[in-house]
Amino acid sequence: MNIEIKPITHEDYVKFYNKQPERTIQGYSILLNGELVAIFGVTIEKKNIRIMFSDMKKDINAPKMTIWRWSKKAMAMLNDIKLPIYAYTNNSGKYLQSLGFCYHADTKYGKLYRYMG
């Protein structure tokens, strides 16, 4: 199993989501045996706020521990941002907490978590 984590490109985002990003993005693409299987990063919002995004293909054939390690490595790469990173979720709070996020507030979009690199 050959795993590569590389800085995300505009083309990676478009290939994965089949649409243009609405904001400036920073992050990483995860390739498994040369195939783009996941992306992870932040959008840069107004007032320099960072909102995290992450997605992976549903049919990935990789152990859950491998996926968790990818996430931890990607989070370590985002540590140099030195600004809070926020993430919304409706059902992944425990997973976000395992990556170092802390519950911040309830919102109309779901629970908001905050990460400080």
Lowest mean pLDDT among 21-30, 68-77, 89-98: 68-77
* pLDDT in the model for residue 15: 93
Looking at per-residue pLDDT, the higher value among 78 and 14 belongs to: 14
Check whether 117 has a pLDDT greater than 90: no
3-7, strands of its sheet edge to edge: 3-7, 24-32, 35-44, 50-56, 84-89, 110-116, 102-107
pLDDT at residue 109, as a whole number:
84
**pLDDT at position 27, please?**
86
pLDDT of res. 113: 93
The predicted model scores a pTM of: 0.72
